[in-house]
Structure 1
Amino acid sequence: MNEQRQIRFWVIVFVLCGSSITVLLAVFAIQDYIDHFYLPDEVVQGLAPYDRTIRAGGFVVLNSIKHSEDELSVEFQLTDMKDSTFLVRYTGLLPSLFREGQGTTVKGKLGVDGVFRAREVNAKHDENYVPPELKTLTE
């Protein structure tokens, strides 16, 4: 190879290496901000990771909402309307539209005991709305 081609080759190699390193660093940096969504059957089957922030959704089981004595902690169960149900614990104010039988998504961490500890609870906003992730459950 002549000298000019060799210089061009090494410039291309360094640019590709630099780009690869930049992409890898970006992926590792945003990895903590990506929340994967899981349906109740995936949570029950153990497909959802433990002690990592995830989102899960389903329908609130009838007669499953239990408020604690301090009125800020609440437990309820989410289901896929088939045979998969899991327990959710949440401390905070629930959305005003949150009620039994409604579609709900929760964000938090799944414990090794199978209890989902939610940091955030979202309820649907009207009688016709179904979150995109839950549309497969209603069909």
Structure 2
Amino acid sequence: MKRKNQRLVLILLAAAAVAAAVLLAMSALKDQAAYFYTPGDVARQGVPTGRAVRIGGMVQAGSIRRMSDGVTIEFIVGDETPHTIPVRYRGIVPDLFKEKSGVVAEGRFDPGGQFVATEILAKHDENYRPPVLDAAKGEHRSKSLK
């Protein structure tokens, strides 16, 4: 075989190996990907049952209910549309989790349409308040940037 043909075969084998590695990585990531939905998206596209997804929106006022076991909570997530998603979560919620605040929940929809969350991520507002040392008291306090 000529040197030119050997080089061509080597380049083709390397390209095939890279393509196979990319396809293998994409296949593995497809099963791990969690898609993001808002309540309006779920109403338009339907409920994706049996697949790990993330939902996001605002925790509606007066919707947080704590169960008697002390670790299970139920709440309702809404967005700017009139659609809502009921959520059930068993675990400790983040400190920033409260009514009328943003939340992202990861989990799955059960056959009844309720979202069973495995993880809750509370979103904070965009107003950064750096701590300021109060020299008179020797304490840190938050200062509003407005």
TM-score w.r.t. the length of structure 1 is: 0.79
User: Helix, strand or coil for the counterpart of 1:45?
Assistant: helix
Question: Could you tell me how far apart the structure 1 residues matched to 2:72 and 2:89 are?
Answer: 6
Aligned to 1:133: none
Structure 1 vs Structure 2 CA RMSD = 2.1
Distance 1:6 1:127, change over 3 A: closer
Unaligned runs of 5+ in 2: 129-146
Higher RCO, 1 vs 2 (CA within 8 Å, ≥6 residues apart): 1
Please tell me whether the aligned partners of residues 104 and 121 of structure 1 are also in contact (alpha carbons under 8 angstroms).
yes
1:31-70 superposed matches below 5 A = 31-47=30-46, 49-70=48-69
Query: Does 1:12 find its partner at 2:11?
Result: yes
For this pair of structures, how many residues does the alignment match?
Answer: 128
Unaligned runs of 5+ in 1: 130-139
TM-score w.r.t. the length of structure 2 is: 0.76
Please tell me whether the aligned partners of residues 102 and 124 of structure 2 are also in contact (alpha carbons under 8 angstroms).
no
Aligned to 1:85: 84
**Rg larger in structure:** 2
Between structures 1 and 2, the one with greater helix share: 1
Counterpart AA for 2:98: R
Question: Could you tell me how far apart the structure 1 residues matched to 2:47 and 2:36 are?
Answer: 9
User: Helix, strand or coil for the counterpart of 1:55?
Assistant: strand
What's the offset of the Cα at 1:99? 1.5
User: Helix, strand or coil for the counterpart of 2:112?
Assistant: coil
Between structures 1 and 2, the one with greater strand share: 2
Identity of aligned residues (%): 36
Write out per-residue CA displacement over residues 81-136 of structure 1, whole angstroms, 9 at most, x where no aligned residue. 3211111110011222212111111111122322111011122234748xxxxxxx
Please tell me whether the aligned partners of residues 53 and 106 of structure 2 are also in contact (alpha carbons under 8 angstroms).
yes
Question: Could you tell me how far apart the structure 2 residues matched to 1:61 and 1:123 are?
Answer: 13
Please tell me whether the aligned partners of residues 57 and 104 of structure 1 are also in contact (alpha carbons under 8 angstroms).
yes
Counterpart AA for 1:39: T
